[in-house]
């Protein structure tokens, strides 16, 4: 029976239980499993910190743009400021996301390739 381990915590629990259920569990192996788990967590935290820094820089840039374009930010300029901030964050989020390739895309590419191949064989 195949059970999907969806979270890192479930994978950690599974690996530790596997080691503990052995006839002679190895403490060093359990420590290694925990260190690997901690390393993954630290890497995730560092990635989130980098992403946060990038977003903060984009917000700062949008605020500077507003100040350069309109002067001091007042109640009347909040809408413009919000649009600039939203636009800078939206632009970043569009750059980061990757589109996944579906089977439909592969089939269309295959059909187009066959058509071109057939066309060039005819000439």
Q: Which residue has the higher pLDDT, 79 or 3?
A: 79
Whether the predicted pLDDT of 4 surpasses 60: yes
* Alpha carbon distance 14, 5 (integer Å): 8
Give the distance between the most distant pair of CA atoms in the chain: 73
Burial of 28 (0-12, 13-18, 19+ CB in 10 A): exposed
Indicate the pLDDT class of residue 20, thresholds 50, 70 and 90.
Answer: very high
Interatomic CA distance for residues 51 and 79, integer angstroms: 25
What average pLDDT does range 25-51 have in this prediction? Answer: 90
Burial of 39 (0-12, 13-18, 19+ CB in 10 A): exposed
- How much is the average pLDDT of 15-43? 91
Overall pTM > 0.95: no
Tell me whether residue 77 is exposed, middle or buried, using C-beta atoms within 10 angstroms of its C-beta: 0 to 12, 13 to 18, 19 or more: middle
36 C-beta neighbours (distance < 10 Å), count: 14
pLDDT tens digits, 63-111:
888 888 888 888 888 888 888 888 877 765 555 555 667 787 788 888 8
pLDDT tier at 31, thresholds 50, 70, 90 = very high
pLDDT for position 92? 58
User: What's the CA gap between 105 and 100, in Å, rounded?
Assistant: 10
Q: Is 71 left (phi over 0), alpha (psi -120 to 50) or beta?
A: left
């Amino acid at each position: 029976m195949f059970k999907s381990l969806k979270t890192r915590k479930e994978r950690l629990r599974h690996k530790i239980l596997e080691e503990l259920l052995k006839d002679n569990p190895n403490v060093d192996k359990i420590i290694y499993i925990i260190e690997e788990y901690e390393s993954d967590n630290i890497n995730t935290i560092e990635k989130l910190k980098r992403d946060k820094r990038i977003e903060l820089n984009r917000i700062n840039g949008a605020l500077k743009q507003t100040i350069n374009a309109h002067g001091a930010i007042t109640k009347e300029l909040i809408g413009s400021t919000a649009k600039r901030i939203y636009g800078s964050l939206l632009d970043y989020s569009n750059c980061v996301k990757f589109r996944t390739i579906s089977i439909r895309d592969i089939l269309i590419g295959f059909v187009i390739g066959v058509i071109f191949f057939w066309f060039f064989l005819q000439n």
